[in-house]
């Protein structure tokens, strides 16, 4: 099981947090590929921690559905279920739409400026067909709004759902299009105008459209 050794180790986090975040990222981006059997001793050596935080992290990853543990036998990375996108995106869309509504009373000029600059970066990535960066920047854009909404329950649920969506996008080459750039612009404008009802609808549509695009790519 080849494991990278040149990864960045975050500072000021516990060994378990560090292990969990890194293992989840490796599963999402395919470094640890679907169906791969995981060796906790090898993972502990790669991350420079004991086996305890590795085992604890794997237990959390099993709860999230990223690995399957077979006691006394093996721990294995779960397969990617392409069709799960139809289950993942509707609740995520609802949470993102609610976040946009809740964020409006908390908006500042600095937040608007950050959203606008982030969408410009997103547009550049889309136009230059740097779809890997586009995916990451799109997530940044939406996370700004979630953070401003400042609801810890939404933040927790979005993080869990977003991790699975990110994995699907990585493994199935979902391509974000220019439509998303325009929708982001509309979201920013509606938030500036304090238009909660319409920003909620646009935000929800922005996420649900990905289901249609996903099935369109799958049938081509």
Task: In whole angstroms, give the CA distance from residue 193 to residue 100.
Answer: 12
At 113-154, the pLDDT tens digits run 999 999 999 999 999 999 888 988 999 999 999 999 999 999
Task: In whole angstroms, give the CA distance from residue 94 to residue 204.
Answer: 6
Higher pLDDT, 10 or 20: 20
Q: What pLDDT score was predicted for residue 6?
A: 55
Task: Give whichever of 6-10, 30-34, 79-83, 210-214 has the largest mean pLDDT.
Answer: 30-34
- What rounded mean pLDDT belongs to the chain? 89
| pLDDT bucket at 16, cuts 50 / 70 / 90 | confident
Cβ proximity of 208 and 89 under 8 Å: yes
Cβ proximity of 99 and 207 under 8 Å: no
Q: What pLDDT score was predicted for residue 10?
A: 46
Cα 71 to chain centroid, rounded: 29
Cβ proximity of 204 and 97 under 8 Å: yes
Task: In whole angstroms, give the CA distance from residue 191 to residue 103.
Answer: 8
Of residues 37, 91, 75, 80, the one with CA closest to residue 167 = 80
Q: Is 176 helix (H, G, I), strand (E, B) or coil?
A: coil
* Cβ-Cβ contacts under 8 Å for 187 (sequence gap 6 or more): 100, 115, 145, 199, 202, 203, 206
At 178-200, the pLDDT tens digits run 999 999 999 999 999 999 999 99
Q: What pLDDT score was predicted for residue 11?
A: 45
Task: In whole angstroms, give the CA distance from residue 51 to residue 149.
Answer: 37
| pLDDT bucket at 63, cuts 50 / 70 / 90 | very high
Of residues 48, 39, 62, 59, the one with CA closest to residue 18 = 48
Q: What pLDDT score was predicted for residue 7?
A: 53
Q: What pLDDT score was predicted for residue 118?
A: 98
Kindly list the strands in the beta sheet with 67-70, ordered across the sheet, starting from the edge strand earlier in the chain: 37-38, 74-77, 67-70
The pLDDT of 84-103, averaged and rounded, is 94
């Amino acid at each position: 099981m080849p494991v990278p050794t040149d990864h960045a180790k975050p500072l000021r986090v516990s060994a378990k947090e560090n292990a969990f975040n890194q293992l989840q990222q490796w599963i999402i981006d395919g470094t640890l590929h679907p169906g791969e059997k995981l060796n906790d001793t090898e993972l502990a050596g790669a991350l420079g921690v004991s086996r305890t935080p590795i085992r604890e992290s794997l237990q959390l990853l099993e709860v999230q559905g990223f690995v399957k543990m077979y006691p006394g036998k093996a721990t294995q990375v779960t397969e990617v279920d392409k069709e799960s996108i139809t289950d993942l995106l509707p609740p995520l869309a609802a949470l993102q739409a609610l976040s946009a509504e809740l964020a409006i009373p908390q908006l500042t000029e600095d937040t608007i400026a950050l959203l606008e600059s982030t969408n410009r970066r997103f547009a550049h990535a889309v136009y230059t067909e740097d779809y890997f960066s586009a995916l990451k920047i799109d997530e940044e854009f939406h996370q700004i709004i979630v953070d401003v909404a400042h609801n810890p329950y939404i933040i927790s649920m979005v993080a869990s759902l977003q991790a699975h969506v990110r994995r699907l996008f990585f493994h199935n080459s979902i391509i974000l299009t220019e439509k998303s750039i325009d929708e982001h612009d509309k979201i920013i404008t509606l938030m500036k105008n304090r238009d909660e009802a319409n920003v909620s609808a646009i935000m929800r549509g922005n996420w649900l459209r990905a289901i249609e695009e996903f099935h369109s790519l799958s049938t081509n």
